[in-house]
A and B are shown apart, each in its own frame.
Chain A
């Protein structure tokens, strides 16, 4: 009976023990997910090297050779995407806006994922009164309308980009928490959780060592969705004029273009680029979520 046959040591690709690598491999086979990853990588690179990429100071008014303000310039070699009605370089503003988008997106995503996961874990695992309290709190948060909440926040504090991050974190965690909670409810009934308990593991150890790693992919999924949400919200808030006026963001650019009648003048070089950037980053979030979904729920694979 000692001649138990063991599988070969080297395993074929794709079904290796490391679920993370296997998942990544699957994501890389999906063209949508690859496109999403490319967009994210580009966003990060542009934000990091913004200083090198900008051709002008995005807040500085530019002048022409004849000394007059360079207003409403078309696309040219000097101004890659033209200038605004007050003579600022649009291309440089677009590059500067990527930093804001990344900052808002990443901080909001991290707070949503962290808050939602923690609440979901505690709620699902301990149940009872803790669960009832946290889930009613989630209901309240879900009932608050998004944009008015941000506007009220801007009223209390001064207009600030962090209002958007706070609002996204405070209002978006319930979605994550509910899904994590439902997943915890199934994972905690698995025999290996009972095995951990019968071998003396404490509640906290069971929760964070045995349960949490098995729901972590969902955390990433909701985090990536939150990136898109946060950037979209920031743009919306800036567009209606409650953004931080001292900080250049894509939403601020759109608002600037809108109030100075760029649309009626047909200055597509002004309003199109920030709009496209917002769409790309938001869509990337959803594509990545879609790819991750196939990894998480193998039954969706056609």
Chain B
């Protein structure tokens, strides 16, 4: 893999990224011409620069996780291209795929499930090095280094321990250390703290932020949590039903959301006061069905501002201010 074509090449670039899932096959499908596919990710464009930290915000089932999996070549896109450091990810296989794996890593949502229950902590941390053929003599040093990066005690303290013997916060740091042991340039963090107790979330997030800054890692944080995104991401993308609906610097985006969906997300954030009355949510209903290929704006049936045009004309993501893009006819 050619590394670092130039400093201006984005590290990760996705163009028209689309992932469709076929519905489960049924016998009666023989009599139907075509079955509606679920558009989990629909024509997504995104770029991530070296060392940049980006948030991908959206509610459950909007395609955030699928986007992350696509960027890491864990699933193959139905359409669109992904370039990693200028090289098309789609064609990677064998040694070049291993090189890619060394540079792009994943931090999992559920630390209790992300570690093989039959592997000791030591073995789990060395496993990426074994898989990518790193020289065995260096394993212990690299594992120790990763452990110190996530502020865990040295390996000796984990001697013979299995995942179920550690707490959630420790496990999530182990999961992070496992990603860091390969010394990647890019990590996807899929809801990295949503399964953890509130009391240890800040600790894990701080570790991630420090590690990212000190190593100059690019990161994509996938989350539904506005506070998390605000805390760790410089730029944020908002996703709805497989499409990016708004993009901008995190502070700007959260202070003055432009898309009606982003505004609704902001309104939905709980306020820790019981006596305070709240405005009713501006949107109603649930996320609509992602099956089939609907015409027009995917948000129109829940949008309080929808006009006739929204029904047949799909709004494109366009620039409205420096660094800010939004997909809405009314902005």
Contacts and interface: CB of A to CB of B under 8 A. Distances in A.
Contact-size category for A: 20 to 34
B182 interface: yes
Contact of B165 (A17, A198, A210): A17
Contact of B162 (A4, A17, A194, A214): A17
Interface string B98-113: 1001100110111001
B302 interface: no
Contacts of A201: 127, 131
Contact of B113 (A7, A191, A196, A210): A191
A1 B114 CA distance: 23
A198 B157 contact: no
B170 to A, nearest CB: 6
Given A191-B113, A195-B106, A200-B132, A4 B153 contact: yes
A65 interface: no
A191 B160 CA distance: 22
Nearest to A198: B106
- For the complex of A and B, 9 pairs with smallest distance between CB atoms: A199-B128, A200-B131, A200-B101, A17-B162, A191-B114, A191-B113, A200-B132, A192-B116, A201-B131
Contacts of A199: 101, 105, 127-128, 131-132, 178, 182
B98 A200 contact: yes
A199 B73 CA distance: 11
A214 B128 contact: no
Interface of A: 1-2, 4, 6-7, 9, 11, 17, 19, 190-192, 194-202, 205, 210, 213-214
B72 A198 contact: yes
Interface size class, chain B: 35 or more
Interface of B: 72, 74, 97-98, 101-102, 105-106, 108-110, 113-118, 120, 127-128, 131-132, 151-153, 157-162, 165-166, 170, 175, 178, 182, 203, 206-207
A190 B152 CA distance: 25
Nearest to A1: B151
Given A192-B113, A195-B108, A200-B132, A17 B98 contact: no
Contact of A7 (B74, B127, B153, B165): B165
A192 B207 contact: no
23 contacts: A1-B203, A4-B152, A4-B170, A6-B157, A9-B159, A17-B160, A191-B113, A192-B113, A192-B115, A195-B108, A195-B114, A195-B178, A196-B116, A198-B74, A198-B101, A198-B106, A199-B101, A199-B132, A200-B97, A200-B98, A205-B131, A210-B116, A214-B118
Contacts of B114: 191-192, 195
Contacts of B153: 2, 4, 6
B74 A194 contact: yes
A198 B178 CA distance: 11
Contacts of A7: 161, 165-166
Given A4-B170, A17-B161, A191-B114, A197 B105 contact: no
